[in-house]
Amino acid sequence: MHASAALFVDVCVQLDLWPGGSWPLVTPEEARNVARLFAFAAERTIRQGGVICRHAEGDHGVASTPPHCRGESWTYDRPPGCGPYLPMEVCDEVRDAPLDRTHATYVASGCACAPDEAGHAKRAFEHTTAGIRDAVVFGAGIEHGLDRTVEALLRRRIRVHVPLDAAGAADADAAQAVVARWKRRGVDGTTVAMVERLLAAR
């Protein structure tokens, strides 16, 4: 991997999905590893973008989940040490945010939709992934938002690396099946240490 052609894609890195949140999907160790990836991206100025979760009242996203990621601060309720080094710019189905390289671009597809499903979000996702060869995907919801993000990257023939020690799941068995499918499709199930090693060597 080359840092200049790499993208760190964080998925649903929000307090509601962290330990102590309304729908905790990551363990404390996974949470520490996610923060470690944010620090590494800032140190190496690796392009960042991602997916955030947002739900209106009565909309829980994935079926049978507790209410999560609602309210005025849904976008910026980030765990400590888990913010991009550039300001966040969020696109969703109704807001077509300006796209440039002075912001970290996020789409509000959340846990239940693909990040390239809707018009404005699709445009933002295309912008974020333009010129990228390798994407490192991490965060919350292996069998939900992470899976949909990985599939969107694979559709663009981008090499995908998922540090499994920085990726949480709601259901361990379902997550194992997802990871097995990823590996059959060429996704690199790796670790945070290996990602750091590969990028530091270039």
Looking at residue 58, what is its pLDDT?
55
Nearest residue to 14 via CA among 61, 86, 70, 95: 70
101, with CB counted inside 10 A (0-12, 13-18, 19+), is exposed
Whole-number pLDDT of residue 71: 63
What is the C-alpha separation between 144 and 202, in angstroms, rounded? Answer: 32
For residue 71, what are the contacts with CB-CB under 8 A and spacing of at least 6? none
Contacts of 202 (CB under 8 A, 6+ apart): 1, 2, 3
Topology adopted by domain 3-200: Rossmann fold (3.40.50)
- Residue 95 is predicted with a pLDDT of 59
- Taking each continuous run of H as one helix and of E as one strand, the counts in the chain are 5, 8
CB 162 within 8 Å of CB 182: yes
User: Do 72 and 127 touch, CB atoms closer than 8 A?
Assistant: no
Phi and psi based region of residue 56 (left: phi greater than 0; alpha: psi -120 to 50; beta: remaining): beta
Q: What pLDDT, on a 0 to 100 scale, did the predictor assign at position 145?
A: 92
Where do the domains of the chain lie? 3-200
100 contacts 88 by C-beta, under 8 angstroms: no
pTM for the complete prediction? 0.91
- Mean pLDDT, 10 residues at a time, over the chain (202 residues)? 93 93 94 98 95 70 69 74 91 66 85 79 89 97 95 96 97 96 97 95 62
Two structure tokens written together for 112: 């239940």
Q: What is the pLDDT of residue 188?
A: 97
pLDDT at 73: 61
Helices 28-44, 192-200: axis angle to 10 degrees equals 10
d(CA 98, CA 91): 9
Count CA within 13 A, CB hemisphere, residue 42.
13
Distance of alpha carbon 198 from alpha carbon 175, whole angstroms:
25
